[in-house]
Amino acid sequence: MLCKEAIISPFPLSVACIGLGRIGAGIARNVQASGCRFIVYNRTPQKTQPFVASGAIAAASPREAAAGSDIVITCLMDDDSVLDNTQGEHGILAGMHAGAIHIGTSTISPRASTRLAELHACQGSQYVASPVAGRIDAAAAGKLIAFVAGKPAAIERSRPVMDRYAAKIVVLGEDPAAAASLKLVVNFFGVSLLELIGQAFVFAEKRGLPPELVGGMLKELLHHPAMPVYLDKIRTRSFDDDLGFTLDGGLKDVELMLEAAAEVHVPLPYASLVRDKCIAAQAYGMGQRDWSVLTEVTRINAGQKIESKTAAVPSEKPEKISSAEGRS
């Protein structure tokens, strides 16, 4: 059995890593360090050389890598690259033996993840969706987060390998699309924060505030105890208990933000979006609820049913609530 502390048995599992980019190389180094029989393949052969120097076998194709492996790990760019390396005369499926497992660590679409599971089922092999989250340093340290879905037996067989590069394994059941979806939700949250931080810095700088001071305040805000409270309010849709700031009061502040930004010629697309959501929420009688209730407008626009204080919103998707949604 693979473990981080010890070399595995004299009859080791054979593992192949396909894709040795910045994250893939970190995954590969941690798996190789377990002492397993280790095979590597990369489109650019030079990237396999450090691993070969440490005892790995370099394969000439994904098929050759899979043919000698019990578990194949792919860490590739996108849907096309994963499917191209999986299918065809020289692909993983052409070399994989029955019962072998393909662990997919790439960020790909839910649709592609489902397709990979179908391809492996037809072949008699198994697919474990396991997209990972984390920076390059986390990959090198074996501290990635893996979002995992697949057949329970395949996940358990794969777990000792995943433990080599992941500090946390989140199992989501058997549907591979669920793992891909969660990774995209996490990335959406992350990239939205990046854009929000950028807008905040530009707004602050144009208002003459020191970036160092603003940066320190934003760091404190990200760790403020109110953040988990609001997250839970939105998750549970509890906008009337533990009322902090009303939507009506929040809209007043958002309008002040936009006015102050306009004075120094800074468009704030996020603030414009929030303003329009607040106005739409007011139209549904939500003005005296917690200001996080503005997020219910997204549910309305997605056709989900909500209950306002004054009226039930039908489950059928209505006319678009915020005509300026996404507009700066």
The pLDDT tens digits for 263-303 are 999 999 999 999 999 999 999 999 999 999 999 999 999 99
- Listed in sequence order, the residues at least 6 apart from 187 whose beta carbon sits closer than 8 Å to its beta carbon are 107, 133
User: For the purposes of burial, counting CB atoms within 10 Å of the CB of 137, is it exposed (0-12), middle (13-18) or buried (19 or more)?
Assistant: exposed
pLDDT of 14-58, one tens digit each? Answer: 999 999 999 999 999 999 999 999 999 999 999 999 999 999 999
Q: Structural domain boundaries of the chain?
A: 14-181, 225-313
Q: Which CATH architecture has domain 14-181?
A: 3-Layer(aba) Sandwich (3.40)
**Mean pLDDT along residues 6-12:** 42
Count CA atoms closer than 13 A to 149's CA, side-chain side: 18
Intrachain domains 14-181 and 225-313 with the same fold: no
**pLDDT at site 152:** 98
Query: What is the per-residue burial (b if ≥16 Cβ within 10 Å, else e) of 36-53?
Result: bbbbbbbeeeebbeebee
**How does pLDDT run across 103-121, given as a tens digit for each residue?**
999 999 999 999 999 999 9
Which range (71-80, 97-106, 238-247) has the least confidence?
A: 238-247
Q: What is the pLDDT of residue 71?
A: 98
Fold topology of 225-313: N-(1-d-carboxylethyl)-l-norvaline Dehydrogenase; domain 2 (1.10.1040)
